[in-house]
A = this chain, B = another copy of it.
Amino acid sequence: MERITFLLIAVAALAGVAGYTATASRDNGQEAAPIFVNDVPVGYRDWQFISVAHEEGNLNSFAAILGNEVAIKAYRNRTIPFPEVTIIAALHYRFVPSAENNKVFGRDQSFVPGAPTNVQFMVKDSSKYAASGGWGFGHFNSEGKAVDGAFMKTCLPCHQKMKEHDLVFTRYAP
């Protein structure tokens, strides 16, 4: 159960969906509609800032959420659903104390990003990703490698609970 919870939460920020479509594919003999993002979107580290996030527990993560121009414009205009070509990136790091900062401050209070753990993406393409609410989901480990479908199976149930925000967890930090 601990492991299931971990997986559920690990991809909750952005990921999603795989299991359902894969099953459908096996059932009807058709090729499954694409629901994964297989390539890291170019230039995402240069994108603008949407928000930050921290998850406690096993995840112990520190995240920066960035967006391409379409994403930023949509957030600022409160456009829901997000328009085509929106891409949202979540850069995840370990959440670690900063010994350097704490020494200066004279007490343990400061937390900074540790080692990068993964980068997740949501890509809006209503045709290509029609089977998953118009979103393609990607999860790339710290070496830039996409994780396989099994890891992604637990995502959609979480994201569907954010239906009123077009399956997106992150809100815009002003």
Cα separation A82 to B126 with both chains bound (whole Å): 44
CB distance from A157 to the nearest CB of B (A): 9
Q: How far is the CB of A35 from chain B (nearest CB, A)?
A: 20
Q: Which one of B12, B52, B108, B161 lies within 8 Å of A52 (CB-CB)?
A: B52
Residue of chain B at shortest CB distance from A9: B105
Chain B's closest residue to A169 (CB) is: B101
Q: 1/0 per residue A108-133: CB within 8 Å of B?
A: 11111100100000000000000000
Whether the Cβ atoms of A45 and B49 lie closer than 8 Å is yes
Interface of A: prevailing SS: mixed
Q: Please tell me if the beta carbons of A48 and B51 are within 8 angstroms of each other in the complex.
A: no
The answer to whether B54 and A54 touch across the interface, beta carbons within 8 angstroms, is yes
The copy count of this chain in the complex is 2
Could you give, for residues 94-114 of chain A, a 1 whenever the CB lies within 8 Å of some chain B CB and a 0 otherwise? 010010110111111111110
Using an 8 Å CB-CB cutoff, how does the interface string of A1-16 with B read, 1 for contact, 0 for none? Answer: 0000100110010000
Residues of B near A111 (CB, < 8 A) are 53-56
Q: Which of A71-112 contact B (CB under 8 A)?
A: 91, 93, 95, 98, 100-101, 103-112
A173: nearest chain-B partner, CB-CB: B113
| A31, CB-defined interface residue at 8 Å | no
Considering only CB atoms, which chain B residue lies closest to A12 in the complex? B105
Number of residues of chain A lying within 8 A (CB) of chain B: 46
A174 interface hit (Cβ, 8 Å): yes
Residue interface bits A32-53, CB-to-B below 8 A is 1, else 0: 0000000000000111110111
Given A46-B48, A109-B9, also A158-B104 (CB < 8 A): yes
